[in-house]
């Protein structure tokens, strides 16, 4: 049995391959780009920019969108990504040039700031963007209002684009607005639903975007038999009491606030003394049917007397307010609130990912323990099989050597007759060679079954090891990222 024949299956793995070290199971958390920066990079090469403002940054990045706000320190650019609108604050120092879209006005050079004082009243915009309790928190708004006070604007405009969030945080925000009687606060609503609707109701003046939304934000708001049954009525009850208090604080119709969170209330819109009035009652076409929650779109909010008007953006609010052209009061609170909201969101998401990961790892721990135990058993069996393989190899080598020793001895015996009887010597050599070949074949026949058995065991153990490792890797790969 030749050595290379016994070792012909080494490619299936030896004991060294059966041993393994446990690697750290937790995958590295991949970093993300900021959502707003990602959106801006996608839109930088966008095609449909016929009506967009174009901002060229000092690093060569070109952004297309619509400038919502601007002052000496910052601009706020609104960009479109699919059906979502995102805002991106950009420092003036990072801007090389601005090209206005059709119908837009303003300097194209970010450094070309007029030396004279801006005309008209000044407004200080603040974003109520994202989830209340995450991107929007009372501590952020408190700091922003303090900065606004120091700059003495004529108006503070809260720009709403949020679907609500934490009621507890909303209570803090409403209390904060109640304490800001020294500031003339107005709300501009693109979206203010659920808890955010209450915060908007706490503002003394509400203005809507043309396609703005304020209220419950439930699907199927116009069709009968909507999904009220799926709403947690306990939460509705809590929102309802808060809504009434917020409406009274902001001086808005309590019936409208109640209708946003009371499915049992039916509301009608009537005219009294030349003014729209919303009151409980029945009509062929009610403002809110029973079994529904009230959500008002821009024009509806104005027609029922909740909002004072609508405008295309914050910069155009002065027109519906009957004011002369106004200007943004310089300040960094908008960008600060956006930045802090992003940081809070990232921290929250990282915490949630960590929690999901730890819960998953706890769940699969028994499976990992089982797999590791089986792998250790495979390793031990592999070591034993490899030891048997080496032992059998030594026995095979020794048997072959014994045959060769006998063959050499017989050749020496034949050599004694090389001179006196060459024919006998040659016959003895021939028989010695035949005996050697037969003995070698006999050694191979005797040891091959055991060798094949050991090699099959090693091969099977190697396949079992690969199966267990693949099972383990899949469990770890399925961990939340």
pLDDT category, 330, cuts 50, 70, 90? confident
Q: Quick one: pLDDT band at residue 40, thresholds 50, 70, 90? A: very low
207 and 308 Cβ atoms separated by less than 8 Å: yes
Contact (Cβ atoms closer than 8 angstroms) between residue 43 and residue 64: yes
Q: State the DSSP string of 347-403.
A: HHHHHHHHHHHHHHHHHHHHHHHHHHHHHHHHHHHHHHHHHHHHHHHHHHHHHHHHH
Sign of CA dihedral 4, 5, 11, 15: negative
State the Cα–Cα distance between residues 409 and 405, nearest whole angstrom.
Answer: 6
Antiparallel, parallel or unpaired: β 295-297 and 205-215:
antiparallel
pLDDT of residue 74: 76
| pLDDT tens digit sequence for 229-246 | 444 666 777 788 889 999
What is the architecture of the domain spanning 120-331? Alpha-Beta Complex (3.90)
Most confident stretch, 71-85, 95-109, 211-225, 268-282: 268-282
pLDDT one-digit tens code per residue, 412-460: 999 999 999 999 999 999 999 999 999 999 999 999 999 999 999 999 9
Predicted local distance difference test score (pLDDT) of residue 29: 36
Contact 392, 451 (CB under 8 A): yes
User: How much helix, strand and coil, in percent to the nearest 5, is found in the chain?
Assistant: 50, 20, 30
Q: What does the pLDDT look like over 359-410, one tens digit per residue?
A: 999 999 999 999 999 999 999 999 999 999 999 999 999 999 999 999 999 9
**Closest Cα to residue 156, out of 167, 142, 169?**
142
For the segment 96-102, the average pLDDT, to the nearest whole number, is 74
**Could you report the per-residue pLDDT of 145-170, keeping only the tens digit for each?**
999 999 999 999 999 999 989 989 99
pLDDT of residue 51: 53
pLDDT value for 461: 96
Sign of the dihedral defined by the CA atoms of residues 101, 106, 109, 111, in that order: negative
- % of the chain residues with pLDDT over 70: 80
d(CA 386, CA 390): 6
Closest-CA residue to 331 (of 159, 187, 91, 151) = 151
Rounded to 5°, angle at Cα 205 from 204 and 210: 150
Q: What integer pLDDT is reported at residue 42 of this predicted model?
A: 38
Q: 375 near 20, Cβ under 8 Å?
A: yes
Distance CA 337, CA 137 (A): 9
CATH number of the domain at 31-110, out of 2.40.50.140, 1.10.580.10, 2.40.30.170, 2.30.30.100? 2.30.30.100
Mean of the per-residue pLDDT values of the chain: 82
Query: In this model, does residue 14 exceed pLDDT 50?
Result: no
Q: How confident is the model at residue 59 (pLDDT cuts 50, 70, 90)?
A: low
Which pLDDT belongs to residue 182?
A: 94
- Residue 475: pLDDT over 80: yes
Q: Which residues contact 428 (CB under 8 A, 6 or more apart)?
A: 410, 413, 414, 417
Pairs from 15-19 (Cβ < 8 Å, separation ≥ 24): 15/379, 15/382, 15/383, 15/385, 15/386, 17/462, 17/465, 18/378, 18/379, 18/382, 18/383, 18/386, 18/461, 18/462, 18/465, 19/379, 19/382
Residue 53 in this model has a pLDDT that exceeds 80: yes
What mean pLDDT do residues 305-319 have?
92
Q: Domain limits of the chain?
A: 31-110, 120-331, 360-477
User: Can you spell out the DSSP letters for 287-315?
Assistant: SB-TT---EEEHHHHHHTTSSSEEESSGG
Give the Cα separation of 147 and 331 in Å (integer): 7
Specify the pLDDT at position 66. Answer: 85
Check residue 84 and give its pLDDT. 65
The pLDDT of residue 8 is above 60: no
């Amino acid at each position: 049995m030749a050595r290379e024949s016994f070792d012909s299956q080494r490619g299936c793995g030896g004991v060294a391959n059966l041993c393994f070290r446990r690697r750290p199971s937790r995958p590295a958390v991949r970093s993300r780009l900021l959502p707003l920066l990602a959106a801006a990079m996608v839109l930088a090469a966008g095609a449909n920019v016929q009506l967009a403002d174009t901002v060229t940054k000092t690093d060569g990045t070109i952004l297309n969108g619509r400038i919502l706000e601007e002052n000496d320190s910052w601009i706020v650019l609104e960009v479109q990504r699919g059906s979502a609108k995102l805002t991106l604050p950009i420092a003036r120092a990072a801007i090389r040039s601005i090209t206005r879209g059709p119908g837009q006005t303003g300097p194209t050079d970010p450094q070309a700031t007029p030396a004279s004082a801006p005309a008209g009243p000044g407004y200080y915009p603040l974003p109520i963007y994202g989830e209340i309790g995450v991107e929007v928190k009372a501590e952020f708004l408190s700091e922003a209002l303090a900065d606004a006070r120091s700059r003495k604007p004529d108006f503070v405009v809260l720009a709403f684009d949020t679907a609500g969030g934490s009621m507890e945080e909303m209570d803090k925000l409403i209390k904060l607005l109640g304490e800001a009687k020294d500031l003339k606060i107005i709300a501009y609503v693109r979206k203010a639903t659920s808890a955010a609707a209450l915060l908007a109701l706490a503002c003394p003046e509400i203005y809507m975007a043309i396609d703005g939304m304020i209220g419950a934000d439930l699907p199927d708001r116009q069709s009968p038999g909507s999904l009220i049954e799926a709403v947690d009525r306990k939460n509705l009850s809590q929102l309802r009491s808060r809504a009434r208090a917020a409406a009274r604080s902001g001086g808005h119709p309590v019936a409208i606030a109640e209708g946003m969170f009371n499915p049992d209330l039916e509301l009608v819109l009537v005219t009294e003394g030349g003014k729209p009035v919303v009151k409980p009652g029945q009509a062929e076409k009610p403002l809110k049917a029973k079994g529904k929650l009230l959500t008002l779109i821009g024009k509806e909010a104005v027609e029922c007397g909740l909002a004072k008007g609508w405008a295309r953006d914050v910069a155009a609010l002065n027109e519906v307010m009957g004011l002369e052209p106004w200007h943004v009061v310089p300040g960094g609170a908008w960008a600060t609130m956006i930045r802090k909201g992003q940081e809070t969101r990232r921290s929250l998401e990282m915490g949630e990912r960590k929690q999901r990961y730890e819960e998953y790892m706890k769940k699969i721990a028994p499976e990992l323990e089982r797999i590791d135990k089986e792998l250790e058993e495979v390793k031990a069996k592999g070591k034993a099989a490899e030891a048997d393989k080496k032992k059998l190899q030594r026995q095979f080598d020794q048997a072959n050597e014994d045959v060769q020793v006998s063959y050499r001895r017989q050749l020496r015996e034949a050599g004694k007759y090389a001179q006196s009887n060459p024919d006998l010597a040659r016959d003895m050599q021939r028989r010695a060679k035949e005996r050697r070949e037969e003995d070698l074949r006999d050694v191979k026949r005797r040891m091959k079954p055991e060798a094949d058995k050991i090699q099959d065991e090693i091969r099977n153990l190697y396949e079992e090891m690969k199966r267990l490792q693949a099972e383990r890797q899949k469990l770890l790969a399925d961990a939340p990222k």
